[in-house]
Structure 1
Amino acid sequence: MSAPDAPDRTADRRAVPARLPAGEAGFGARLMTPLLLGSLLNPINSTMIATALVAIGRDFHVGAADTAWLISAMFLASAVGQPSLGRIADRIGPRRVFVAGSVAVGAGGLTGALAPTFTLLIVSRIVLGLGTAAAYPAAMAMLRAESRRVGRPTPPAVLGRISLAALASAAVGPTLGGLLAATAGWRAVFAINVPLALLALAGALAWLPADRDARAADRPGAAGGSLDPLGIALFASALTCAMFFLLRLDAPQWPLLAPAAALTAVLVWWQLRHPQPFIDLRMLARNRALVLTYLRHGLTYLVIYCVLYGFSQWLEQAHGFSSFHAGLVMLPMSGAAAVCSLAGTRGRGIRVPLALAAVCLMAGSAVFLLLHGTSPLPVLLTAGALFGIPQGLAATGNQAAVYAQAPADGVGAAAGLQRTAQYLGAITASSLVGLLYGQRATDAGLHGLALAGGVLGALLLALTLADRTLRTTGTRTLT
């Protein structure tokens, strides 16, 4: 992520004729098809496993506490892998990283489908987390490279499609996982990754433009000239300790804070001394707008995942819905997220959509405070939809903000750190749900989540309105 403190946009527009032949217009179906397919692999694997956990536990004779590691292992691998692979994409080229990630997804899916032990199943989830983590930062770096090649900004609708692919696949994941587990067994949830990975790999090899010569990155002064493996290792170690702590807020493992703090201190010391660090702390210190975007994104998804995990459990345990009907009640949330993700690409500004997202988080939390075990169905549907609106608007808005605020040659690593902030929010949310629910979802626990959501929504609104850089970001978001 090493770069000057202001993103250099001139490189995206120079040395390319203003008028291009039709076949060189860029951002067409051949480029976007593999990028969209790759971008859906991580979110669909994150949610598809949910409806197969009971069957997996039954076959391997393990309980819910053990099967939860199938979720946590992938989140950990993805949180570390996104910025690391984004850095590597900036260094050696996004096409190479995308191809390697597709191969890893296929290998992870095949390993899981054939796994004879539960431990190997966890290993397969780690491989899937790393493999699927490659696609998003590689896609963002690829779009920046294509923008340079054709000499025009990336169309807002293109980033909207990337965001929509992630939202839509996460929404259909539980339903697809349940269908596969019910018809072909839980191993099909892993095996489905093999054909998907092969499709993404074939599309990448056939249609994605070749990376520039990797040797160019080795020249003095070239962006991303060092992978900084020690920086990556320190980051991964510190983040892993922090996430293990966050996973058990109901029974805090306080000793984990000491190594987490020590590793973070060493990471900061090393990054400040490395000529081209993995995380350019000096750039982040100067680029306040990018840091605020990471904070907004993490806090927004903390609330969103509290709803995804907490509301669905409450619908089943406190309201008495079956898992199938609880999923149907959650559909308006997914639908609203998809619609708002597309709507967020229509205008040039992002400050108003992000402010609206914060307001909807507060409104949805207020409705949650009124819910009880006998609340009518229309109220439940409205509550879910209110949280779908900020999910769509924030996903598109913060993605566009990162694209605009990141250094021109560090967008892959910057996009990866954005997803890391999202995964931190997800893991914190799952722990918060467990802390407030205990053994069973209750009205009081849901109201506790609502209070937390309302406070965080108000904080997000204040952060958004106070961020003056958002007033101008929209006019240069995709250049």
Structure 2
Amino acid sequence: MRGLSELRRGTAPADTAPADAAPSFDRRLTAPLVLGSMLNPVNSTMIAVSLVPIGIAFGAPAAETVWLVSALYLTTSIAQPVIGRLVDRFGPRPLYLGGSTLIGLAGLLGMVAPSLGVLIVARVLIGLGTSAAYPAAMYVIRSEATRTGRDTPGGILTALSVAAQATAMIGPTLGGLLVGFGGWRTVFVVNLPLGLACVVLGARRLPRARPTATAERQAGPVDVLGMVLFGLALTGLLLFLMAPRPDRWYLPVLAVLAAAALAVRELRCPEPFLDLRVLGGNRPLLGTYLRQVLAYTVSYAFLYGYAQWLEQGRGLATSLTGTLMLPGSAVAIVAGVLSGRRPELRGKLVLGGTVMIAACGLLTVLRSDTPIPVLLAAGVLIGIPQGTIGLANQNALYHQADAERMGTAAGLLRTFMYLGAMLASAAVAASFRHGADTPGLHELALFMLPCAALLLVVSLLDRSLRRRR
């Protein structure tokens, strides 16, 4: 009778609840996760159009203002896995809220900065603040799958990847609009409302930390020394890649010594920052990191090198160069959205690697009189791997990484992305040592081709990708 009366009232006993009443992914989390993950790429690219007016304002040459770009790259490369580890230990909510608050404070500092040095400090703080969102997002998404007992909807992972691509693409345009509206300081001021929006959304929607049994067992001291050694190793490597010269020999030496000390430390530490034993035994995850470096080395080399060649080697106006590059960015977004609807990973990587080889091959035959439609085709081609490979690597990491170290693993994925950017920058500088001419473009393409080919081979040989459909 009790069950009958409940049915008449529109309810049912708990043991007869329909299957579709099972917990599902909390869609309210989408807004804070996606918004937070957008702030790093938009700040990475928005500054580009501000360097010249900032240099004029402070009387600083380009060699000094470029540190506004490099400081953020260096900071985020180091900070994302470090903060990711803190996310693993203390939960995503405090790190997300703390990072969002720091973004707003950094924007305020940039608004009143009296010198270029203070402005660089503001960029470092922006790098630190924006480094929390992506590891926190990946941790939350994985935690939701554990809570619900269901696979995470592919749409949320696609949204993270596509949002990062879209904001990186519109960053220079947004920066130009802000500078035109209120001067270069508005590029910093915009972080005030963005940071505040993240704080409000995060405070209202992110779940409070619930330590797991594993996290409780790991409640010992944080491996600060391991983090410091990791930072020293990466700083030495990246500073050298930014300007590789014989007189800077001490930087790679510092990187090697710090890396060796890090390995010794982590193998002896009971709760290491980087669990090298687990990481070394996770070959699929190492393969994902390798693909990430290769993919972004080629993508950034194309982005930096091809645009310069279009202006100098082909002799096009800056406005036409931007027009030719824009369709490739649009194709990348479309490719990400379309490929995100399908769960398989290997197909995305094979397609992306194959098209990337074709795009690099096309660069080797370009000349100073190549027709505009062919130049446009090269940009469109590179957009396909840009849209598919990054998304596939992110989704692969989601399935391959230890759930208890998802924040660290996600942060490292971004670190390897920036490492690819630095390698690309060094390759462009070496290839264009006599200017962005056609022989230099061909030399750069011959560097990119084996990277793209290796990415394809690694994808084909990775058997774990075949099981992930």
Shared fold (TM-score greater than 0.5)?
Answer: yes
Q: Which SS does the other structure have where 1:219 is aligned?
A: helix
Find 1:106's aligned residue among 104, 107, 112: 104
**Compared with structure 1, are the counterparts of its residues 321 and 112 closer, same or farther at alpha carbon in structure 2 (3 Å cutoff)?**
farther
Q: Which SS does the other structure have where 2:111 is aligned?
A: helix
Find 2:180's aligned residue among 179, 182, 195: 182
Structure 1 runs, 4 residues or longer, greater than 6 Å off? none
Question: Is 2:214–2:404's contact at 8 Å kept on the other side of the alignment?
Answer: no
Q: Which SS does the other structure have where 1:410 is aligned?
A: helix
- Which residue pairs with 2:12 in the alignment? none
C-alpha separation between the residues in 2 aligned to 1:277 and 1:450? 40
* Deviation of 1:343 (Å): 2.1
- Which residue pairs with 1:219 in the alignment? 216
Find 1:231's aligned residue among 220, 226, 244: 226
* Deviation of 1:439 (Å): 5.8
* Deviation of 1:267 (Å): 0.3
C-alpha separation between the residues in 2 aligned to 1:252 and 1:410? 39
**Compared with structure 1, are the counterparts of its residues 375 and 43 closer, same or farther at alpha carbon in structure 2 (3 Å cutoff)?**
same
- The one-letter code of the counterpart of 1:143 is I
- Which residue pairs with 1:129 in the alignment? 127
- The one-letter code of the counterpart of 2:153 is P
- Which residue pairs with 1:259 in the alignment? 254
Question: Is 2:304–2:425's contact at 8 Å kept on the other side of the alignment?
Answer: yes
- Which residue pairs with 1:8 in the alignment? none
C-alpha separation between the residues in 1 aligned to 2:332 and 2:215? 42
C-alpha separation between the residues in 1 aligned to 2:214 and 2:271? 12
- The one-letter code of the counterpart of 2:339 is G
C-alpha separation between the residues in 1 aligned to 2:323 and 2:343? 34
- The one-letter code of the counterpart of 2:25 is G
- The one-letter code of the counterpart of 1:26 is F
Question: Is 1:249–1:435's contact at 8 Å kept on the other side of the alignment?
Answer: no
- The one-letter code of the counterpart of 1:116 is P
**Superposed CA offset, 1:245-295 (max 9, x none):** 111125661121222111111100000001111111101111011011101
Question: Is 1:361–1:453's contact at 8 Å kept on the other side of the alignment?
Answer: no
Q: How does 1:354-373 map to 2 (within 5 A)?
A: 354-373=349-368
**Superposed CA offset, 1:152-184 (max 9, x none):** 111111100000010000011111112222232
- Which residue pairs with 2:330 in the alignment? 335
* Deviation of 1:118 (Å): 0.5
**Compared with structure 1, are the counterparts of its residues 229 and 18 closer, same or farther at alpha carbon in structure 2 (3 Å cutoff)?**
farther
Unaligned runs of 5+ in 1: 1-16
C-alpha separation between the residues in 2 aligned to 1:428 and 1:456? 11
Give the fraction of aligned pairs with identical amino acids, expressed as a percent: 45
- The one-letter code of the counterpart of 2:74 is L
Unaligned runs of 5+ in 2: 1-16
* Deviation of 1:318 (Å): 2.4
- Which residue pairs with 1:26 in the alignment? 25
- Which residue pairs with 1:405 in the alignment? 400
**Compared with structure 1, are the counterparts of its residues 225 and 372 closer, same or farther at alpha carbon in structure 2 (3 Å cutoff)?**
farther
C-alpha separation between the residues in 2 aligned to 1:157 and 1:291? 25
Q: Which SS does the other structure have where 2:404 is aligned?
A: coil
Question: Is 1:102–1:197's contact at 8 Å kept on the other side of the alignment?
Answer: yes
Matched, 1:380 2:379: no
Q: How does 1:41-440 map to 2 (within 5 A)?
A: 41-212=39-210, 219-220=216-217, 222=218, 226-249=221-244, 253-438=248-433, 440=435
* Deviation of 1:450 (Å): 1.1
Answer with 53-62 or 274-283: which moved more.
53-62
- Which residue pairs with 1:5 in the alignment? none
C-alpha separation between the residues in 2 aligned to 1:121 and 1:374? 43
**Compared with structure 1, are the counterparts of its residues 218 and 345 closer, same or farther at alpha carbon in structure 2 (3 Å cutoff)?**
closer
Question: Is 2:215–2:404's contact at 8 Å kept on the other side of the alignment?
Answer: no
- The one-letter code of the counterpart of 1:307 is F
- Which residue pairs with 1:464 in the alignment? 459
C-alpha separation between the residues in 1 aligned to 2:378 and 2:144? 40
C-alpha separation between the residues in 1 aligned to 2:375 and 2:449? 17
Question: Is 2:25–2:153's contact at 8 Å kept on the other side of the alignment?
Answer: no
**Superposed CA offset, 1:31-89 (max 9, x none):** 10011110110011111111111111111112221121111110110001110111101
C-alpha separation between the residues in 2 aligned to 1:251 and 1:187? 37
Question: Is 1:337–1:391's contact at 8 Å kept on the other side of the alignment?
Answer: yes
Q: Which SS does the other structure have where 2:342 is aligned?
A: coil
* Deviation of 1:441 (Å): 1.4
C-alpha separation between the residues in 2 aligned to 1:464 and 1:213? 36
C-alpha separation between the residues in 1 aligned to 2:166 and 2:292? 18
- The one-letter code of the counterpart of 1:261 is V
* Deviation of 1:186 (Å): 1.1
The Cα RMSD (Å) is 1.8
* Deviation of 1:217 (Å): 6.5
* Deviation of 1:364 (Å): 0.4
**Superposed CA offset, 1:294-323 (max 9, x none):** 011011101101111111222222233333
Find 1:441's aligned residue among 411, 436, 439: 436
Q: Which SS does the other structure have where 1:383 is aligned?
A: helix
- Which residue pairs with 2:9 in the alignment? none
* Deviation of 1:375 (Å): 2.2
- The one-letter code of the counterpart of 2:152 is T
- The one-letter code of the counterpart of 2:111 is A
Q: Which SS does the other structure have where 1:409 is aligned?
A: helix
Question: Is 2:366–2:438's contact at 8 Å kept on the other side of the alignment?
Answer: yes
C-alpha separation between the residues in 2 aligned to 1:63 and 1:105? 27
C-alpha separation between the residues in 2 aligned to 1:144 and 1:259? 36
C-alpha separation between the residues in 2 aligned to 1:435 and 1:452? 11
**Superposed CA offset, 1:319-343 (max 9, x none):** 3333333222111111111111112
Question: Is 2:363–2:378's contact at 8 Å kept on the other side of the alignment?
Answer: yes
Q: Which SS does the other structure have where 1:116 is aligned?
A: coil
* Deviation of 1:218 (Å): 6.1
Instruction: Specify which structure has the bigger relative contact order, considering alpha-carbon pairs within 8 angstroms and separated by 6 or more residues.
Output: 1
- The one-letter code of the counterpart of 2:105 is A
